[in-house]
Amino acid sequence: MPRVLPPKAWRCFAICAFLALLTGCAHPFEPRPRQGPTLPAPLHLDGWQYSGRSGIRVSSPHYLIYSTVSDAQLLSRVAQVMEGAFGQYRQLAPDVSLSARPMDCYLFADRAEWVGFTRAHTGEDAPVYLRINRGGYTVNDWYVAYFLGDIGTYSVAAHEGFHQYLGRHLKQRIPPFLEEGLACLFEDVTWENRLPRWDLSINYARQTALKQAVNDESLLPLDQLISTHAGQVVNRPTEQIATFYAQCWAFARFMREGEGGRFRPALEKMLADAASGNLVGAQAPLNDMVFWSPRSAKPVLEHYFQMDLPGIEREYLQFIAKIVGQQ
């Protein structure tokens, strides 16, 4: 049972609101070779039953994927995406100790099955998750999605897989807006020689939404962005959801790439400290990945950046101006 937190401690939701904008996009530029596994992961497929319906379970080194999708080839590709993404997560957070147990994933053939599973397994939080019109969600270290076509399914799997990775390996939450942004880094999955590939600087859909927000002068101020989590925006108009995720994505890129990678050691240190339970500035208790206090985001960021929030915002906005200018 979660421990009681101070006033204004909010429950966190790891959600991928996967908008129609994110499917079927062509990329205007490919600045460098993409990365991914050199060999396919070993897989084993066997049977699984859900509500009297025959399904498939895919076992891989780090995952167990339970699915009512009948296409074994597609499920095998989802498993290769998950295993390939796991290697990318590891590169982003190299100092996080890994668990030996595989992580559970649930992929349903349609939304109706997803809704039924969600109502049965998420308790009082189910109404929040059921607001997701297109996407998936993560609870602790397992995620739930439904088939969105091959491109959309791969993207949601890679996004939710990062939430799942943190849910398994971190003892404390990093600011949820940053977790969402980092998860967005993995959404753009391509294929080469039947293996998944990533360039974590590329996400055409998020960049398009970011440029639109800049043009519309609708960017959220940083102090508002950092105190927001996905559960608060999932029911907002499409444009506001797109702006939130685009800004989160841009901030994750900023920490990873800004000023030639100046802030990347801070990102790696933050993730390592959260994994060990020593996140500086955090107000949530140790070993509590469910609750989070919005007041903790500012001291956490200021500590790891070694800058005050106005200074961080100035450099973040400069970075946004730079990356929207690439389009």
Q: Convert the pLDDT of each residue in 81-128 to its tens digit.
A: 999 999 999 999 999 999 999 999 999 999 999 999 999 999 998 998
Which residue type sits at 315? E
| 166 within 8 A of 234, measured Cβ to Cβ | no
Widest CA span in the chain: 57
Q: How far is 254 from 315, CA to CA, in rounded Å?
A: 9
User: DSSP letters along 93-159, please?
Assistant: STTSPPPSSPEEEEEESSHHHHHHHHHHHSGGGHHHHTT-SSEEEEETTEEEEE--HHHHHHHHHHH
Q: Are 158 and 18 spatial neighbours (Cβ–Cβ below 8 Å)?
A: no
With CA atoms as reference, report the closest residue to 319 among 262, 239, 272, 281.
Answer: 262
pTM of the model: 0.90
- Cβ pair 255, 267 in contact under 8 A: yes
Q: Which fold has domain 10-324?
A: Neutral Protease; domain 2 (1.10.390)
Write the DSSP string, 161-213: HHHHHHHHH-SBPPPHHHHHHHHHTT---EEETTEEEB-TT--HHHHHHHHHH
- As given in the structure block, the two tokens for residue 184 are 């967005």
CB-count exposure of residue 240 (10 Å: 0-12, 13-18, 19+):
middle
3 state SS of 66:
strand
Domain boundaries, the chain: 10-324
| pLDDT tens, residue order, the chain (327 aa) | 222 223 333 344 555 555 434 444 444 455 578 999 999 999 999 999 998 899 999 999 999 999 999 999 999 999 999 999 999 999 999 999 999 999 999 999 999 999 999 999 999 989 989 988 888 999 989 999 999 999 999 999 999 999 999 999 999 999 999 999 999 999 999 999 999 999 999 999 999 999 999 999 999 999 999 999 887 887 888 999 999 999 999 999 999 999 999 999 999 999 999 999 999 986 554 445 456 677 889 999 999 999 999 999 999 999 999 999 864
